[in-house]
Structure 1
Amino acid sequence: MPDKKWYPDSLKVGAQGTSSTYRFLESIYKKHDEFSYAEFGVYRGDTARNVAERFPNATLHLFDYQETIDEAIIKLSKYQNKIFYYGNSQKYHDSYNWHLGKILKNNPHTTIFDYCFLDGAHTFSIDALTYFLCDMLLKRGGHIDFDDYAWRLRGSSLDPRKVPSIAEQYTDEQIDAYQVKMIVDNIVRPSGKYREVVKNKIFQKL
């Protein structure tokens, strides 16, 4: 039996992806630089496409639901970058963190990412752990990029009025909370391990 598909097919995301992310990459890397870029929450693959176009020697690690990854594989097939894909199911307790755990297991005491763009679940229960796992895999001087600091489930494409299963998964307090902000304000900044490069968004590992 296939997994229950609860995630909506359409989200409020522009066709060019998150330009602030790949524009920032252009400010720190030259076109032919080699670096390792991880993206959590690929959606239509447009941010990754822009990264691949601008940096042909970059290695991309892309994480999302398997059906989304399947679309990204087609969209990015013409690029010559080394691209690794990690698809997970829509089961409630499955996420890209499982793949990160396996990467850690296979690369003990090794940092492999130069840049992590966290644009996935936007929830504390998943992405707080993602931050810690990325921190373990992120090189010194590397960057972690948080999308949607001021985002919450209420009023978004995942509002429980549009996606009823959200009300089954989260309390009203969690639906109304700015959960990315919670991660940035209560974990990242107090850690003392990062320098804030772009306010509320991009942090460099010291």
Structure 2
Amino acid sequence: MLEKLTDPTYQILSRPDKSVLRYLDAIMASNPMHPVFYEIGIGIGATTLPVTEKMNNSGEILLFSREKDVRALASDLLERGYSNVNANWGSPNNTYSGYHFELAIGAVEKRLPMFDLAYIDGGHVFHLDAPTACVLKELCKPGGYMIFDDYDWYLGKSPTWSPAKRPATAIEYDQRQIETRHVKLVCQLFMDTDTRFEFVGMDSDTVTYRRLPDATR
């Protein structure tokens, strides 16, 4: 998968998220041996690769995306000498399978570790990212971060998902859903109202929340 990072066809997907790397540096400074990083939606590994390099086999990286993509990326990283990538949380390719369900099952069964930083860059639609946010909030360590990408993205402006480009979108979603910024809606409903979390800031189209160090469940 990592070969796509140098393929001009994937140029728009080849830039790592700056907020993730900045907050990871802060985490590594205070907890260099055992940080836990979640990535929800891995794209082509543009953010995963520099995160893996920075962590340098310390702690654990858990990837949540389609199973075939998770395994391909983990294999590429292993070839580069990085063995701290957990590829066991990929989802099947069934229509209603997804990272939201893997997270829920893992949390209920207590098989997922608490994380220091979670980067959410998945489907950007409410039915996937609303339950994802709810589960992640309970897995976030006090002082940990949740970073949401594409805060202002919406189906109607997508170069691949807008009804003009993909007519099926107008059948699958009503006009309100097509025009609504789903990630923003998730943050407004589940993050901004939770007193355990504070809004840290926005960088470009990425928003960051931090769980307060003294926050209780």
Same fold (TM over 0.5): yes
Matched-pair contact (CA < 8 Å) for 2:134–2:190: no
Matched-pair contact (CA < 8 Å) for 2:13–2:43: no
Q: CA deviation at 1:11?
A: 6.9
Q: Which residue does 1:96 correspond to in 2?
A: 99
Structure 1 segments (4+ residues) deviating >3 Å: 10-14
Q: Which residue does 2:63 correspond to in 1?
A: 62
Q: CA deviation at 1:48?
A: 0.8
Q: CA deviation at 1:81?
A: 4.1
Matched-pair contact (CA < 8 Å) for 2:92–2:98: yes
Alignment equivalent of 1:195, drawn from 194, 198, 216: 198
Root-mean-square deviation (Å): 2.2
Q: Which residue does 2:86 correspond to in 1?
A: 84
Question: Which letter does structure 1 place at the counterpart of 2:109?
Answer: N
Q: CA deviation at 1:116?
A: 1.0
Deviation string 1:56-104 (CA, Å, 9 cap, x unpaired) is 1131000111232233123312232411122223433211122112211
1:141 equivalent in alignment to 2:136: no
Matched-pair contact (CA < 8 Å) for 1:61–1:84: yes
Q: CA deviation at 1:193?
A: 1.6
SS in 2 for 1:203: strand
Q: Where in structure 1 are there 5+ consecutive unaligned residues?
A: 1-9
Q: CA deviation at 1:25?
A: 1.5
Q: Where in structure 2 are there 5+ consecutive unaligned residues?
A: 1-8, 213-217
1:42 equivalent in alignment to 2:45: no
TM-score (normalised: structure 2): 0.81
Matched-pair contact (CA < 8 Å) for 2:77–2:83: no
After superposition, the Cα gap between the structure-2 partners of 1:12 and 1:161, relative to the gap in structure 1 and judged at 3 Å, is: farther
For these two proteins, the number of residue pairs brought into alignment is 196
Aligned partners of 2:110 and 2:60: how far apart in 1? 16
Matched-pair contact (CA < 8 Å) for 1:111–1:139: no
Matched-pair contact (CA < 8 Å) for 2:27–2:116: no
1:107 equivalent in alignment to 2:106: no
Deviation string 1:122-161 (CA, Å, 9 cap, x unpaired) is 1111111101111111111111111111111112132233
